[in-house]
Amino acid sequence: MPTYHDPLKDAAEASEALRGLAHASRGFDNPADTYAVFGDLVAGVRSLRQVLDQLASAHLTHRRRAHDDDGDHRAGTRSALAAADELHQAGTLLDQVHDRLDVAFGHSGRIAWHPEPAITTDAPTDTAARRWVSVVFLQGEEADEVLDLIDRDGPDAAIQYLRGWDYGEETTDAALENGYVYDEPPTGPLDRVVAEGDYTLTYNAAMGHVSLLRAHTAPLDPALDETDVVSARQAIGGVGSLDASTPRSAASLTPGRSQRTTAGPEKDWFAAPARSSQSAGRGVSL
């Protein structure tokens, strides 16, 4: 909480608050929330402008006490005056920042944000049914690296990167064997979904997980047991989702054939890495 009387404590708290905002604003699940952030930023820039003026005034008011490290008063006075001048110029530049921010605030206020379009899929034909198989699921520190890639280069870059875990029919066979087949991509209420061709990327920066799935069109087989296909609702609710008791292999962030684990009941290479104390409480969407 601000003290309103101790500039040292309040400056430290303001710095930490801005650092937290910089981290939290890496992704907005609801773009309408940006409007409220805009309002707080405009007010914050006004306050920062006042702080700069007051810092400059402090250097001017107390310049008689200014000395350099060798005790030279004239050198200290020159430095105090120069610091005050730079602070005034910074304040002038900050006025331009405020004006630009205020204009952007007005434009943002005229936007009516619509819900994100629903995921569209090809309608099944008489001879084929469309399913989604899990390519890779990451959480914790491994997911953080991919989330950083999304922040830096966008979700398309993450899809291209995670495709390194897709080994075609081998991936499909392993997903079918281990039960990671879904009637549609499983997503939680706060998950972001990006589709590119046959691939669907789901990620959640707040919960710290990333998943890549691939569409699989399989011929309809009367002998196929539909219970082997997990519905998206079941996967989100935990029924048919990743089971903590399933044997898990450590996922490497260096995709390549030398890094994959042989698919089979002994080693499940679709399962998330085992939870550590650092990732406790982080959710999974699959």
* Cα atoms in the Cβ-side hemisphere of radius 13 Å centred on 180: 29
Is residue 3 scored above 80 in pLDDT? Answer: yes
Q: What are phi and psi of 14, to 5 degrees?
A: -65, -40
- Packed helices 141-153 and 155-162: angle between N→C axes, nearest 10 degrees: 130
Q: What is the predicted pLDDT for the residue at 222?
A: 47
What average pLDDT does the segment 100-127 reach? 73
pLDDT of residue 121: 53
C-alpha dist (Å) from residue 261 to 149, 154, 171: 24, 28, 11
Q: Which residues contact 242 (CB under 8 A, 6 or more apart)?
A: 137, 271, 272, 284, 286
pLDDT, tens digit, for every residue of 201-231?
999 888 888 999 998 876 544 444 444 555 5
pLDDT digits (tens, 9 = 90+) for 118-135: 655 555 444 557 788 889
147, 146, 140, 187: which is closest to 165 by C-alpha? 146
Most confident range, picked from 16-25, 71-80, 273-282: 71-80
**Buried/exposed code over 150-175 (b: 16+ C-beta within 10 A; e: otherwise):** beeeebeebbebbbbbbeeeebbebb
Write out pLDDT tens, residues 28-56. 888 888 888 888 888 889 999 999 999 99
* Structure confidence at residue 143 as a pLDDT band (50, 70, 90): confident
State the pTM of this model: 0.41
Mean pLDDT for 142-163 is 90
Geometric angle at alpha carbon 254, from 149 and 267, rounded to 5°: 120
Burial of residue 284, with CB atoms counted within 10 A of its CB: 0-12 exposed, 13-18 middle, 19 or more buried: buried
Beta bridge partners of 211: 137, 202
What is the percent of the chain where pLDDT is above 70?
Answer: 71
Whether pLDDT at 252 is above 70: no
* pLDDT over 60 (residue 115): yes
Q: Which residue has the higher pLDDT, 156 or 243?
A: 156
The answer to which of 68-77, 176-185, 275-284 has the lowest mean pLDDT is: 275-284
Task: Give CA separation, 101 vs 18, 38, 86, in Å.
Answer: 16, 8, 22
122 backbone dihedrals φ, ψ, rounded to 5°: -70, 135
| Cα angle value 96/93/37 (rounded, 5°) | 55
Residue 237 has pLDDT above 60, yes or no: no
What lies within 8 Å, CB to CB, of 36 at 6+ separation is: none
Mean pLDDT of the chain: 75
